[in-house]
Structure 1
């Protein structure tokens, strides 16, 4: 009798598991509107990060925030239809019928194939499952599509074209980005940042080649704002590609000397200068020494075999605590010296291994903000994010 009582309980649980999805509230399901709002919220965070990094001016950042918030309000007011394939009464009847079928089928199956005469044994406890990380990439394409539709309706809005160019650039659609920036620049030729953004999109679309059109865009940008770091860097790169390596080094050293001491791209620019000078046999050590020295790059050393063995001998709980302390230590080092793309990749990977998708996403956002002005490092971060399954938040 005890066996049949246990089997009855199991059949009831199985029937409940099969029928609960039929009668649960559909209102609790995630909606497309929530996904769009999540993407817009992430765009707000990206604007804050870019303003802190100095890649966009405060008025431009305020305009972006205003537009994104307007779209959030517009999306929030949209009413989504409830999806309920059957009425409440029909769902209830279907659930009861399915439960009955499950119970009868289970009883018949056991009566045919089961062995109630065997002695009951206590199974060994199953090994706990390792935590898994799940990610849900928001539908960024739909958001970009909405912006595309908006520009079809309002083609004379320069800020809309600038936002579309920025969205294309973030998704590596560089040719479309350059075209959108070109339209924005044609409508507002003196808007801050438009010309240099257009030039950078042209460079990326040409696989790193600074074309004459891009040179003109950067020249116009520097004429509007002599402190435009992006324009000055790429104008130096244009000199290097045209054979004027000394002129490129002079341009970059001047830019480095006028940059803030905490500029996130300062250490990378110093490295570029050093490599260019070494390749051409030019001694720039004294000129670089006169500029604020870069912060030392700190990387976490690989553990020794003894350290690995000691960790494996620890209880599972202590192992997890030690791993988390090591990961947090890496995060602290990156705060002190953010110009370390390999370190950011290690941090993102470690966060994902620990199952902390939110922390991995935060690390990605911090890395993109810290490495602004370093296209190669940004590409490395984006590539690692895609391989790890970290969404673009």
Structure 2
């Protein structure tokens, strides 16, 4: 029997790898009105701003009001069609809104739109693997989930549930996946999975070498990579993707103050990319 799509719930509006969307998407941490009616009224008055609709969708989803959440997210993506975060949130809401189909076509379409905008979007990647599992491609689903785990920053909010999902599928299929889980966790990047704009990232050889290092040696390797990234950006301050990578790297290392400083420098150097940088900062909790 295929694993239920509800096994892992991404009740997050933004994640560490979802910060590069074009739309200025919020993490819904600001003070909200007291009622859904007030939230909807504000959203309707917001014109082309997707954020109030996103907040309404998140609030409905958190209250298990899934059809209403899907409706609000549909309004949000209409205003911000380039937001991978919003498309993946819409896809999840559509799943929970449909009690008869574990992967409604409309949800699948939303996830595909999300990864077309951001191939690394964790929520969309997870549910697309669910679809493979539902279709009978269990090996493909397992491979996709393990690849997602390899790209997951240590301590990410979804890490524990993702590991649990992989383990449950292994038990169902009578496959010992623990060695593959450990391998994915041992070789994953401390930096984001994609290294764009010539920003240095770990090569396959470096990842293999890191697997045999002590925790202290792995930490030193990560610190060196982040230092080189910061130095590269001093000479290339217009590299927005590089700044987002540096912000995420500092945050992953627990250096929130430096992550915020990197955000400030990025804004100063790239005022035209304020929306993209703000979305990344909010997704990282800065």
Q: TM-score when scaled to structure 2?
A: 0.53
Alpha-carbon distance in structure 1 between the residues aligned to 2:102 and 2:94 = 8
Distance 1:285 1:150, change over 3 A: closer
1:249 aligns with 2:142: yes
Q: Distance in 2 between matches of 1:51 and 1:158?
A: 13
Bigger Rg over Cα: 1
- Aligned mate of 1:222, from 106, 111, 115: 115
Q: How does 1:26-175 map to 2 (within 5 A)?
A: 54=16, 57=19, 60-61=25-26, 64=28, 68=30, 142-154=34-46, 156-175=48-67
Aligned counterpart in structure 2 of residue 188 of structure 1, from 80, 94, 108: 80
Gaps of 5+ in 2: 1-10, 187-286
* Partner of residue 102, structure 2: 209
Shift in alpha-carbon separation, 1:149–1:55, aligned structure 2, 3 A: farther
Runs of 4+ in 1 over 6 A off after TM superposition: none
Equivalent pairs, count? 172
Please say if residues 51 and 57 of structure 1, whose CA atoms lie closer than 8 Å, have aligned partners that are also in contact: no
Match in the other structure for 1:388? none
Q: CA separation in 1, counterparts of 2:41 and 2:55?
A: 13
Q: How far apart in 2 are the matches of 1:171 and 1:150?
A: 19
Question: Please, which runs of 5 or more residues in structure 1 have no aligned partner?
Answer: 1-48, 72-139, 294-393
Aligned-residue offset at 1:252: 0.3
Is residue 232 of structure 1 aligned with residue 125 of structure 2?
Answer: yes
Per-residue CA distance 1:220-242 (angstroms, 9 max, x = gap):
11111122111111111111112
The match for 1:272 is: 165
Deviation at 1:194, TM superposition (A): 0.8
**What SS does the aligned partner of 1:290 have?**
helix
User: Of 28, 47, 69, which residue of structure 2 is paired with 1:177?
Assistant: 69
Question: For residues 131 and 17 of structure 2, what CA distance do their matches in structure 1 show?
Answer: 20
CA 1:179/1:52 → structure 2, altered by over 3 Å: closer, same or farther?
closer
CA-to-partner distance for each residue in 1:146-201, whole Å, 9 max, x for gaps?
11122344454322222211111111111010011112112221024110010011
Structure 2 residue aligned with 1:90: none
- Following TM superposition, by how much is the alpha carbon of 1:275 offset from its aligned partner in structure 2, in angstroms? 1.8
What CA deviation, in whole Å up to 9, does each residue of 1:60-103 have, x standing for no partner? 337x56xx46x7xxxxxxxxxxxxxxxxxxxxxxxxxxxxxxxx
Instruction: Decide whether the 8 Å contact of 2:84 with 2:121 is kept in 1.
Output: no
Question: Cα RMSD (Å) of the superposition?
Answer: 2.9
Distance 1:147 1:174 in 2: 16
Which of residues 164, 170, 177 is equivalent to 1:284? Answer: 177
Q: Greater relative contact order: 1 or 2 (C-alpha under 8 angstroms, separation 6 or more)?
A: 2
Per-residue deviation, residues 84-125 of structure 1 (Å, max 9, x unmatched): xxxxxxxxxxxxxxxxxxxxxxxxxxxxxxxxxxxxxxxxxx
Is 1:200 equivalent to 2:92 in the alignment? Answer: yes
